[in-house]
Chains A and B, each alone.
Chain A
C-alpha cells in the first residue's frame, strides 16, 4: 500500500517534470510551466492525466501543446497519458513565473505589468521597452501576432516590440 502510494507520487513527479518542459510553440523561450498553462498532474490507477488551461479561449496553440505533452510523457516511458483542458479558474498573467517574465524580456517581449485587473475603458499603461528600458513608449496596435500580445513602439530607441498583454 505504502509502496503503491510512493509509486504514484514518483510517477506524478516524473510526469510533471516532463510536461513542465514543453514550450509554447508561439513563444519558444517559455515553458507551459512558466506561463501557468500547466495546472495539475494526477495519477489514478497508474494512469496519468495532465490538466492545462488556455490563455485565451481561441488560442490555436492549445492543440499543439496537448500533443507535445503526450509525446513528452511517452518519451519518459509514461504510456497512454491523457491531457484535459480546464477553464476554471480562468488563466491570468499573474500566474506567469518571475523566471518566465525575465526570459520573456530577454527574448524581446515586454512582460505583462505585474497585477492583472479590469482596465479602464480608455486606460493608460506605461510599458517599459524590453530593448532599452525606456518607459517613453506608445501602443501601435491593441492586437499583435498572437492573441496574448499587443504591438508597441519605443520612442527612445525607435524599436517596435511585442507586449504580452495583461489578462
Chain B
C-alpha cells in the first residue's frame, strides 16, 4: 500500500478553514471553466473561459499556499488540491454545479463574480495582510469577470427566444445556490469580529442590486422563492463534486508524488 495516495488530515483552525473555503471556491470554479476548453461556442469565448479559469486557479494557488503557511505542518498548495477527499472540500455548492449549457455556465459565473467583486474589494481592508494582498489582486480580476458575464446576461436574455428561455432556466436552477455565499458560521464569526474577514451578509443588498439591475436589462426575472440550499462549506456536497475531483486528482492519486 502506498501511503502517499491516502488523503491528508487538515487542522481546521478558523483561519485555515476560512482560507481553504475561498481557495476551494476558486479551484473548483476554475476547473469547471477549464472543462470548456476546446468546446466553447466560439473561439473568443473559448479564450475568455480559459482566461477566467486561469485567474481563478492563480487565486486558488495563493490561497492554498497561505493556508499551508498558516497550518505550518509541511503541506503546500498541491497537497490541499490533490490529496483531500470530497468531504474535506469546503467550496460553495454553486461552483461545483455542472457546466450545463452555455447559459448555465455564464449564469453561474455571473452570480459568483458579482459576489466576488464585492467580497474581494471589501477584503482589501482585512487586518490579515496576506488576505488583503490576495484581495487586491483578485478584486481587479473579479471586476473583469463580472463585466464579461454581465454582457452575456444581456446578450442571452435579450437575445432570441431560445437564448432567453435557456437563460431563465439557468436562473431558476441556480438561484437556490446563491444564499450560501452570504452565510456565516461560528468559526467565521470570530474572524469577522477580529477584522480578518468581512461579514458577507452586509454585501448582499449591493449584490442583489447589481444582479437585479443586470437581469432587468436582460429582460430576465429573479425567482420569488427564497429557499436556499447549503452544505458545501461544511463538506456536504452534491454528487457532482466527487466526479470532478476524480478527474482533477487522478494523476496524483494514481502516481503519488509524480512531478513534471
Q: Does A167 contact B (CB under 8 A)?
A: yes
- Is B144 a contact of A142 with CB atoms below 8 Å? yes
Q: From B139, which residue of chain A is reached at the shortest CB distance?
A: A90
In the bound complex, what is the Cα–Cα distance between A121 and B55 (angstroms)? Answer: 19
- A-side interface residues, number (CB < 8 Å): 27
Chain A contacts for B52, CB-based, 8 A: 143
- Is B58 a contact of A141 with CB atoms below 8 Å? no
Residue in contact with B140 in the complex, picked from A58, A90, A122, CB distance below 8 Å: A90
Q: Does A145 contact B (CB under 8 A)?
A: yes
In the bound complex, what is the Cα–Cα distance between A128 and B24 (angstroms)? Answer: 40
- Is B57 a contact of A121 with CB atoms below 8 Å? no
Q: Does A57 contact B (CB under 8 A)?
A: yes
Residue in contact with A57 in the complex, picked from B45, B138, B151, CB distance below 8 Å: B138
Q: Does B174 contact A (CB under 8 A)?
A: no
- Is B54 a contact of A147 with CB atoms below 8 Å? yes
Residue in contact with B58 in the complex, picked from A59, A91, A151, CB distance below 8 Å: A59
Residue in contact with A58 in the complex, picked from B55, B130, B144, CB distance below 8 Å: B55
Q: Looking at chain A's contact residues, is the secondary structure mostly helix, strand, loop, or mixed?
A: loop
Q: From B146, which residue of chain A is reached at the shortest CB distance?
A: A121
- Is A122 a contact of B58 with CB atoms below 8 Å? no
B23 to chain A, nearest CB (A): 12
- Is B47 a contact of A145 with CB atoms below 8 Å? yes
As a 0/1 sequence over residues 118 to 153 of chain A, the CB contacts with chain B under 8 angstroms (1 = contact) are 110111000000000000000011111101000100
Chain B contacts for A121, CB-based, 8 A: 146-147, 150, 210, 214
Q: Does B70 contact A (CB under 8 A)?
A: no
Q: Does B16 contact A (CB under 8 A)?
A: no
Q: From B63, which residue of chain A is reached at the shortest CB distance?
A: A57
Chain A contacts for B130, CB-based, 8 A: 87
In the bound complex, what is the Cα–Cα distance between A142 and B57 (angstroms)? Answer: 19
Chain B contacts for A123, CB-based, 8 A: 147
Q: Does A6 contact B (CB under 8 A)?
A: no
Write the residues of chain A forming the contact surface with B, with a CB cutoff of 8 angstroms: 54, 56-60, 86-91, 118-119, 121-123, 140-145, 147, 151, 165, 167
In the assembled complex, 22 residue pairs joining A and B whose CB atoms fall closer than 8 Å, in A order, are A54-B137, A56-B58, A56-B141, A57-B58, A57-B62, A57-B141, A60-B54, A87-B136, A89-B136, A90-B137, A90-B140, A121-B146, A121-B147, A121-B214, A122-B150, A141-B44, A142-B48, A143-B48, A143-B52, A145-B47, A147-B54, A151-B44
